[in-house]
Amino acid sequence: MEIQKGAEFCFPQLLNSSCRNPTLHWSRSLLLNIVLSFFSPITAALNLLVIISVSHFRQLHTPTNILLVSLAVSDFFVGLLLMPLEIFRNTTCWILGDLMCSVYWYLNFSFVCATIGNILLISVDRYVAICYPLHYPNRITVARVKLSVCLCWFYAIFYCSFYTKDILIQPGRYNSCYGECVFFINDMAGIIDLVLFFLIPVMVIIVLYTRVFVVAVSQARAMRSHVTAVTLQRSLNQANKSELKAARTLGILVVVFLLCYCPSYFFTFFAEGMLNDPATVFFITVIYFNSCLNPLIYALFYSWFRNAVKRIITLQIFTHDTNEANIL
């Protein structure tokens, strides 16, 4: 009987300080295991294809695509690292130690922060391209976009270092027993995080893309109208069809991001500061799922991505001068 009772704990030899195993009900653990195990390799593979495509083919070295690569990098690590660790954290005992638990939460917040920053940069890029098309080539250059991406990642690393400094300095600070990996957010830190890290960026994203949508609709109507050839030509100069298509595709990307992040973020904020209950685990999984949806959106709406993937899968990228190929 003693062995059977001790088997319920992560470390039967430490019955007074060991957590019970598993941390979730077996049915929820099984569902979480199946979902994340299925989407983890798919997320990593699809985002890796985005990174290779834009990096390899010189024709794709545009400011907008550089932003997509930055977003794909954060999504790639979500699929490669965070999804497997989330399975491990919620379906079995955490045996990787308190330090790795702190690293897990730090990476978790860092990649989410980088994703929000990248979506904000994409919104700015589309805003300038659609609303100020004549100034776009001068204002949005490859060099400036690369600098913006670096600053975005530096902000994510610095901000999350400050946000998680307690568990980085004292690993296992919030664990109540051995075999647990949790993180608590106090009220003040939660409010500051909600405003600076989420509300302000999301409000800016919504305002920018609302303006993009209004201008894009008016320009699309102008291109379809047959009032005068001069009006039509002017509309074409302001925003050509490719820019409008890019705005539409990235608009879908932004909407999907908001649908995945807004409910999840607000729920975790009001979950009494604890990021370990079953409902919160579900919403964290929804955020992770967004990383898999992004490359699927590219595959549906970008012919260059489908062409690039075909060349990558058939190993044509290893032939001579394929980086100069025309895949648009």
**Closest Cα partner for 292 from 75, 37, 115, 48?**
75
Residue 113 domain-assigned?
yes
Q: How far is CA 91 from the centre of its chain?
A: 23
pLDDT of residue 156: 92
Residue 95 domain-assigned?
yes
pLDDT of residue 232: 45
Burial label for 118, CB within 10 Å (0-12, 13-18, 19+), is: buried
Residue 310 domain-assigned?
yes
Residue 262 domain-assigned?
yes
8 A C-beta contact, residue 128 and residue 190: no
pLDDT of residue 152: 95
Domain containing 215 equals: 22-324
pLDDT of residue 281: 72
Tokens of 301: 């709406």
Label residue 272 left, alpha or beta by phi (over 0 means left) and psi (-120 to 50 means alpha).
left
Give pLDDT < 70 ranges for the chain: 1-7, 13-16, 21-28, 219-242, 268-280
Residue found under tokens 């908001």: 258
Residue 194 domain-assigned?
yes
8 A C-beta contact, residue 21 and residue 281: no
CA dihedral 105, 108, 110, 115 (to 10 degrees): -160
pLDDT of residue 7: 53
Between the CA of residue 307 and those of 65, 242, 257, 326, what are the distances in Å? 15, 17, 25, 10
Residue 123 domain-assigned?
yes
**CATH number, domain with residue 35:** 1.20.1070.10
8 A C-beta contact, residue 76 and residue 48: yes
Tokens of 68: 């997509």
Q: Where are the beta strands (DSSP E) in the chain?
A: none
Residue 43 domain-assigned?
yes
Q: Which pLDDT tens digit goes with each residue over 140-195?
A: 999 999 999 999 999 999 988 888 888 889 988 888 888 888 888 777 777 787 88
pLDDT of residue 157: 92
Q: Compute the distance between CA of residue 263 and CA of residue 131 in angstroms, rounded to an integer.
A: 30
Structural domains in the chain (count): 1
Q: What angle do CA 83, 85, 86 make, to 5 degrees?
A: 65
Residue 15 domain-assigned?
no
Q: Compute the distance between CA of residue 22 and CA of residue 90 in angstroms, rounded to an integer.
A: 7
